[in-house]
Structure 1
Amino acid sequence: MKAQGMCASQFDAVRQAFEDMFDDPQERGAGLCVQIDGEMVVDLWAGVADQEGTRPWTRDTLANTFCVVKPYVAVAVLMLVEQGKLELDAPVARYWPEFAQNGKAKVTLRQVMSHTAGLPALRAPDHNAMMYDWEHMVRVLAAEPLWWEAGTDLGYGTTTFGWILGELIRRVDGRDPCDFIHAQILQPHGLDVHLGVDEKHFHRIARFDSARGRVGDPYSQGLRAVLKNQPTHIATFAFTNPGMVPKRTSDPRWWAYRQPGVCGHGTAHGLAGFYSALLAGNFIGRELLNEFRREHSHGMDRVWMRPMRYGLGCMLEQQRDPTASHAMGPQTFGHIGLGGPISFADPERQVSFGFVTTTSGSHTMIDPRPSRLSSLVYAAL
C-alpha cells in the first residue's frame, strides 16, 4: 500500500517497511513520524480509520495510544517539582493526607514515579463500573493497602500511576491534571495529543481492534495466560480492575476519559513532537530531564512479569531483551501503549519517534512493527 506524507530520501527503507506492513490484510491504519533535532524527516500515514474500510487515514487521524501518555503526566509533575510545589522524596501524604491510610504514610513521590511504591493495582471489588468517576477512584486508591513495603519491589502502576500523579497535580496546582498538561505542555507546542478528546474531535478518532494470530513473545504469552487463568494475581488486578482493553475504545466515554496515565489519543507527529520539545529544553530544565531519564528502578516487574527498567515515569532501553528494545541507542527512553503504539527519544542522536496503529498486536512491550521501523531509522542515521 502506498503511504501518504513525506520521507527524506535518506529514510527510503523506512518508507518501504512502513508500506510493507499493509501486506497483512488485518493491518487497517497507522501513522509514523520521526524527527531529528526537531526537524521532521519522516511523516507517513496509510490505510483506513474505520473497521468498514471506507474512511481513509489522514495526517490528523487520532489513534488510541493507551499508556504512551504516562511520561506526559510525569513531566507535568516534574514541572511542579521545579516550581517548588512538590518534592520527589516527600511523602505523597504531605500533599494528599488521605493517602496515608493503610500503611501508605511513607510512600514517596519518587517511588510512585519509578513503580516501586507497592501500589500497582486495586484489589476486589470490581471497579470497572466507576472508573470514569475521578473522585470515587481517588477515594478508593487512598484507602487501598500496600501490596508490599514501598521501595522493596517493582510493580508497574497500570492505572494507579495516573490517579496518584493526577491527584497530586490537582492538590498543589488546583487544575484538573489533563487541563494542566494541555495548557502547559501540549497547546504551547501545537502537539496533536489529547488526554480526553473534546467532542468536536470525535470524528477524527480511528477505530481500534485486535489482530488475530499474533501471539507475542514468551513474556507476553505468559502474562496473557495469567490474566486468563489467575483472577486473583496482582497482574490480573492491575490490567483488569479496571480494564484498559481494546473493546473499551469504541465507547465515547473512553474517548473523553481524563485519566492521564492510561488514556490518550494522538497523531504520530504529536507524539514525536513531545520528545523533540523535551529534548530541546522545554517543560523542565536539564537537571530534571536527566533525573527523569536516568535509571531509578530495575528488576523483575511483578505486574509485567518480565525484567524492566524505569526512570521517573518513562521506560528505559532494554538492549538485552530484543522484544523490549527501541532498536536505537542505549540511552533511549519513552513509553509503549497497549497493542503497538509507542513514542520515545534517543538523546544521543536527538531522534524522536512516534508510531500509532489501530491494529492491536500481542507484544506487551515493543511491537515488531515499530521495532522494525526504528531499527531502519537508526541504520540510516
Structure 2
Amino acid sequence: MKNVLDCVATPQGEVNLFGHIAPGFEPVLHAFRENFTKGAELGAACSAYVNGERVVDIWGGWRCLNHQKPWDEDTMVVVMSTTKGLTALAMALLHADGQLDFDRTVASYWPEFAQGGKSSVTVRQLLAHQAGLAAVDVPLTPKSMADRQTLEDVLAKQVPLWVPGTRHGYHATTLGFYQNAIIRRADQQGRTVGELVRDRLSGTPPNDMYIGLPDAIPDARVAKIAVGPDWRAMRQLPLRTILSSLNPRSLFHRVAANPKLKKLSDVSTRQYLKLELPSFGCVATARALALTYSLFAGRNPILQGTSETFCQLEASAIQPSNDGTDIVLGIPTAYSLGFSKPSPFFNFGSDDRAYGTPGAGGSQAFADPATHLGFAYTPNNLRLGVLDDQRARVLREATYQCIEKLS
C-alpha cells in the first residue's frame, strides 16, 4: 500500500506525494512540497541514504506530459549528465580491482588513441575534462553511436582542441564514449560500461539504474520529459557564458550541438535510451542512485573497494596548469576522476571530499563522505539554465539541516 505523505495544490491541480520520511527529516518533504506548490515540478523523486540507511525516499507528480499518469514508486527517468557519475563509479571499481590505473596513459589501454598528438594524455587528465576532447569533428547520430567500432575510430582520430593538461572544458557528450572505450579494454571480462554497471552496481537492490535500457523494461516505467529554459536562473551566469550559449560559432555550441537533436526530449525516447550513452543516457530512480552513492560515501565493504580508491575519489580536484575557468561553460568548475567536485556554481557536499554530477535540467546525485550521505534528485521537468538547480538545492540544504540537527 502506497504511503501518501501529502496532497499538494499546484497550478495544474492536486498532486499526491508518496514515500518514506525518517523521523527528523520532515523538512525535506516540506521543501519537496514547495517545489510542486510553486509549479516548478511535473513529476520528481528525491532520495537520501545515510550510512546505507534510507532517510528520505519521496516521489510525486506525473510521469507524462498530460497529467494523466502518476509518478509511481518504480518510475525511472533519464538523468542526463548525472549519468557521468555512474560511469565514473564503475571506473572506480575497476581501479579497486587493480585493472585500471588513473595515471597511466589512455593509449596504454587503447593504442589507437595516440593519434592526433594524444599519446601522453593520462586517464586522470581525460576524466578531469582536460584532454581537449570536448567536441568531435564527425557528426554523431543514433546509428553511429550504436556502431561502437566506428564511433571509437572517430574518437581515436580526434585532435585535441587545446594542449591537454593546460585547460579544462566540459566534455558534455564525448567523455562517456572515451570512458567506455577504456573500460572495455581495461576490464578483464571486456564488459561495456552498461554491463559493468549491471554486474557491479545494479546488483545491490534497489537496482533500477541502466546505461542502455533493456527491452524488458516497459515504457510505462520511464517518465516522459518536458524541457524549457529557466530564465531567472540564467541571470546568475556570467555574461560571457550567456553570450557563448547564444553564439552558434562558439565552442559551447560545438559541444552542445553534436549529436544534433531535433529537441532535447528526444533523449528520452527508446531510440536513444536503448543505446549505451555513458555521458547522458542513464535511466534511473533517485532511490537507486542515492543508495549507490551512500555505499561509496561510507566505504561500504559490499563494494569490494580499496582504501586507495576511496582516497582517490575523495581527493581535491587537480586544476589545469592555467586557471580553473571552464573553457566550454565559461565559469569556474572543478572535475576529478569523471566527477564534478564542489565549485562556486555547484557547491554541494560538506567539504571538498564530496563527489558527484549534476544533469542538464535539474537532476543530480552525489556522495558526501563527511556525513556518509548519498543524495539524488530526479525530475522530469527539465529547466535549463544552471548547473545547480534551485529545486535540487533546497532539497539538499534541507537534508543537511536535518543531519546537523540529529548529529
Give the 5 Å matches for 1:141-290: 141-173=155-187, 174-201=190-217, 202-211=219-228, 214-217=231-234, 218-219=236-237, 222-223=240-241, 225-231=243-249, 233-243=250-260, 246-281=264-299, 282-290=303-311
Is 1:127–2:140 an aligned residue pair?
A: yes
Normalised by the length of structure 2, the TM-score is 0.87
Hey, what's the Cα distance between the residues in 1 that align with 2:239 and 2:232? 7
SS of structure 2 residue aligned to 1:4: strand
Q: Equivalent residue for 1:139?
A: 153
| Mapped partners of 1:342, 1:211: distance in 2 | 18
Using structure 1 for the length normalisation, give the TM-score. Answer: 0.92
Q: Distance in 2 between matches of 1:178 and 1:305?
A: 31
Taking the aligned partners of 2:268 and 2:102, their CA distance within structure 1 comes to 37
1:76 paired to 2:90? yes
Helix, strand or coil at the partner of 2:353: coil
Moved segments of 4+, more than 6 Å:
none
8 Å Cα contact 1:317-1:324 kept in structure 2: yes
Q: CA deviation at 1:110?
A: 1.0
Q: Do the aligned partners of residues 315 and 213 (structure 1) sit closer, same or farther apart at CA in structure 2, a change above 3 Å counting?
A: closer
Structure 1 residue 143, shift from structure 2 partner = 0.6
Query: What letter matches 1:183 in structure 2?
Result: D
- Matched with 1:45 is 59
1:373 aligns with 395
Residue 46 of structure 2 aligns with which residue? Answer: 32
Kindly provide the CA deviation profile for residues 149-188 of structure 1, in whole angstroms up to 9, marking residues without a partner as x.
Answer: 2111111221221111101111232122211221112224
Q: 1:56 aligns with which of 56, 70, 81?
A: 70
Describe the superposition over 1:56-100 as per-residue Cα deviations: whole angstroms up to 9, x where unpaired.
001110011011121222232232233333322221111211111
Matched, 1:316 2:341: yes
What letter matches 2:166 in structure 1? T
Paired amino acid for 1:359: N
The whole-number CA distance in structure 1 between the counterparts of 2:335 and 2:162 is 19
Structure 2 residue identity aligned to 1:207: K
Compared CA separation, residues 143 and 345, structure 1 to 2 (3 A): same
Q: Tell which deviates more after alignment, 33-42 or 193-202.
A: 193-202
Closer, same or farther: CA 38–243 of 1 in aligned 2, 3 Å: farther
Count residues in correspondence.
Answer: 376
Moved more, 182-191 or 15-24: 182-191
SS of the equivalent of 1:306 reads coil
* Residue 329 (structure 2) aligns with: 304
Q: Percent identity?
A: 27
Q: Is there any run of 5+ residues in structure 2 with no aligned partner, and where?
A: 1-7, 9-15
**What secondary structure, in the 3-state scheme, does the structure 1 residue paired with 2:73 have?**
coil
Structure 2 residue aligned with 1:325: 347
Matching residue of 1:295: 316
The structural deviation recorded for 1:373 is 1.0
CA deviations over 1:172-209 (Å, ceiling 9, x no partner): 32122211221112224543111111122232000111
Query: Which residue type is aligned with residue 206 of structure 1?
Result: A
Encode CA deviations 1:222-266: one digit per residue, 9 max, x unaligned.
5454233233x2221222212576322342111212122221011
Q: Which residue of 1 aligns with 2:364?
A: 342
